[in-house]
Structure 1
Amino acid sequence: MKIEIRELTKDYSSCRALDNISITFDEGIHGLLGPNGAGKTTFIRILSTLLPKTSGEVYYNNIKVENKKEIRRIVGYLPQEFSFYPNFTVYETLDYFASLSNINLSKKVALNRLEIVNLQDLWKVKTKALSGGMKRRLGIAVAIVGDPEVLIVDEPTAGLDPEERIRVRNMLSQFGKTKTVLLSTHIVEDIALSCKSLSILNKGRLVYNGTVKDVIKNAEGYVWDLTVDFEKYEQYMDKYNVISSIVDGNKVSLRLLSKEKPSINAFAASPTLEDAYMRLIKEV
């Protein structure tokens, strides 16, 4: 499935949430990264037919996004915030959401969807008894209940413990082997470990679109490590974009962004995706 976005713009009154976005997605997992307020949720809600655009074009294999009935048959969407009826069982929840989409769900297919998200043994359990991670996995099962060609997920690992985050990432990776997955998040690690390509939004603008490898390469020469006396710590915080700081007694180890070498004692560091992302967001 190919998704083409051409000059997509969204205005809210006097505020421009998306500014002339053009991207193309195909099979695999594609990351959408950006700080809160960057326009990520607006972007994916337009792609999910839940929000009208102001201008521009969005196509799914030449089908316009305005054809909501057709698009919703091929797109599964997991929002950041969702809820279930607490007294419904896992199976009843899946069956209920399938009926809302006019999907005649057999028990065999329902258990297959639950097996994909590793909830098949809990099909009789009420949703109020599920942990946060289990509810997130059930949300994914709901999103893929109709076997969509495209899966759009908004912050799927937010609030999960490390083990559940890994589980969810692995599930999305499996789905992305044959489908198109758009993963919107502010968690850099999720992108680094699962996505074949990356798009970064900031203040409604597309500031990067390409591979994870290339964006990291673009940050070479901008990332520095150094250790300073504690009393000089605030001077560096005021002057530079500090990515991390570790206090050890009267010394502070800093990792920061700078076009120039910030100190004679600083040495160039190999950038990570988080470093590269911060460089774009802070416009260093």
Structure 2
Amino acid sequence: MTIIDTVFATQSRSHALLLSTLASVGLIVGAVWAERAAAELRRSDLLMPGVSGVLFALVAVTIMPFAELTVGRWLIPFLYLAGAAASVILCTAARHLALRRAKTPNRSADQSGRQSAFAERSVFAIVDLLGYGMAIGVAAAASATLGIALATGLAAANVLVSRQLTAGFLSAKMRRMDRVVSQLALFLTLNVFSLLAFWTVHSFDSRGLPGLLAFFGGFLLAAATRTLLSHGQGIAAGKQVGSALVFLCGFVAFALFAVGLDDVLDAAGISNAGFEHPVEQSSAQPNILQTRG
């Protein structure tokens, strides 16, 4: 039995913690990137469509096929719609909270504008990490292959989240120690949400797990769309073709990784079926037969 078999066969909390830690690597990379290239942040704006492509690939190549095999087809669009609506509602609430926090007395207009932008970035980062962490926890309870693919893709997305937030820290002239504490808080936030989702699935009923995953698929689609729209508002018309190409490159690159992950596990002699959640593994068979029939 390999180390991977030992870690994932138990479906314990260490399983979800390992995957959320993998996704948290993107937070560290994004923070270091922003600090090392603080004066040249705009050169990496193409990271935004690339990350959007990765998020779309996550849904199209990993979550969608899994949901189609285990959830009624008529229900999938509504689950995606519910997840996207949840993301929009959370982002709207976050924007109002950020603006309310920035509008405090005894501040100049410039200072209030900077505080508003900084607060908005902070709450948006928390909203994204909330969805990312819970999606990792749910995916980890379903299948190790699915969890690895999701955690790897969200690690790329977290580079963008951390980079944008660190840029806000630098523009606000926050002390280095405060920036480190804030990054540690983001790291803990992602891991806590992941473990909470994993524990919730195991503590109650995991038969609705594919539905939860489809819900978070809609959440990821809304997050990717928001990233694309915010990027499109800040670029020149001549760069739209380049942004589209970067989006496609991000989509194709991660899609190939996700598709090849099964082949790599098979070549290494690791059984993918043995990683699936026992309850989900048994309940998936009738749904698969019903879907094919």
TM range (shorter): under 0.3
TM-score, normalised with respect to structure 1: 0.28
* Higher RCO (C-alpha under 8 Å, 6+ residues apart): 2
Give the greater-gyration-radius structure (CA): 1
TM-score, normalised with respect to structure 2: 0.27
